[in-house]
Structure 1
Amino acid sequence: MTYVTAEARQQLLDDLAIAIEELATALAVLGAAYELLDENTADRMEAELFRGVQTAYGRAQRTHSSFAARYSLQGRTFTQPSPGLPSQGARAFLERAGEAIDEADNALVELQDSMLPVEVGDRELRSDLAEVRTLVEALQGRARGFVRLFGR
């Protein structure tokens, strides 16, 4: 493997990490919002958003770690950031979750458009990226809809 290929694969992992970090942010703020919502709204948010974000986050992490392992690259551990102070309120947390989901989608689009998955990736990576992107894309509309209906 040439040095350039190794660098390109590491760049691919770094770009994927951006999306994973945004999904981690979405999970953190959705968890904080859950604590501030009434029981019915919290349960609906969990069903409509949290589980989907959790699934996309887990799948993206597995994609990252399995690609790194296949090519003997350095993997990494992802952690959820602090969501911020509860005084921001549930709506602010929900809006931030929507923004983080949008940013994760943007990062995945940029990664796929970069051609790195084709040039230095493999079929499994491309398939996994497409799956994660499909999961995240579905969440975008749900997040906007949930925020729009929140408080009504």
Structure 2
Amino acid sequence: MAASNLVHVAYTTAEAREQILEDVAVAVDHLALAAACLGEAYEHLHGASADRLEENLYRPVQGAYGRTRRTYVQFAERVGLPAETFEPASAGVGSQGVRLFIDRAVSASADAGRALAELQDSMLPIEAGDPELRTALAEIREVVDGVPGRAREFMRVLGR
């Protein structure tokens, strides 16, 4: 009887790890869209506004995107599961304007934050993850959760 319990636990752990990877992949996709939108917004700006967007929004989101991808790949390697490859996201038509691109980036970042929060709240990272995963998720969320405030500040001074 004990042997069947061990098999069941191992299967449950494997399933939980697959779910962790699926949830992190959702966040990767949202952050890819956010980074693409901010990149497109940057292309429509010039001078100081472009520099502020890059420093205050693009770099943090791009960093969170890269960190989330690395977290995904490294966790998959540590637990012996195959890692998905991610395609670049499209920001959409360039004529949408800076404000719309920034709004879309904020929305996509918020979606990524929600996906990570739900994953953390599920307790899967504690039950089937590892310390590296938990640390990375917390650090990524800290960056992502700051995006709306940085975007509001950027939009407040845009064009001044």
Instruction: Select 1:26's aligned residue among 34, 37, 41.
Output: 34
> Hey, what's the Cα distance between the residues in 2 that align with 1:12 and 1:86?
34
Instruction: Select 1:12's aligned residue among 20, 25, 31.
Output: 20
Instruction: Select 2:86's aligned residue among 78, 83, 92.
Output: 78
> Hey, what's the Cα distance between the residues in 1 that align with 2:19 and 2:26?
11
Could you tell me the TM-score, scaled by structure 1's length?
0.93
Residues 16 and 107 in structure 1, CA contact (< 8 A), matched pair in contact too: yes
Deviation at 1:38, TM superposition (A): 2.1
Instruction: Select 1:136's aligned residue among 131, 144, 158.
Output: 144
- SS of the residue corresponding to residue 2 of structure 1 reads helix
Instruction: Select 1:47's aligned residue among 55, 70, 86.
Output: 55
> Hey, what's the Cα distance between the residues in 2 that align with 1:145 and 1:80?
27
Matches within 5 A, 1:62-101: 62-101=70-109
> Hey, what's the Cα distance between the residues in 2 that align with 1:95 and 1:117?
30
> Hey, what's the Cα distance between the residues in 2 that align with 1:10 and 1:99?
26
Residues 16 and 124 in structure 2, CA contact (< 8 A), matched pair in contact too: yes
Deviation at 1:46, TM superposition (A): 0.2
Residues 52 and 154 in structure 2, CA contact (< 8 A), matched pair in contact too: no
Residues 27 and 80 in structure 1, CA contact (< 8 A), matched pair in contact too: no
> Hey, what's the Cα distance between the residues in 1 that align with 2:105 and 2:152?
10
Could you tell me the TM-score, scaled by structure 2's length?
0.89
Residues 97 and 143 in structure 1, CA contact (< 8 A), matched pair in contact too: no
* Identical positions, percent: 53
Long gaps (5+) in structure 1: none
> Hey, what's the Cα distance between the residues in 2 that align with 1:128 and 1:39?
34
Deviation at 1:55, TM superposition (A): 0.9
Aligned length: 152
Larger radius of gyration: 2
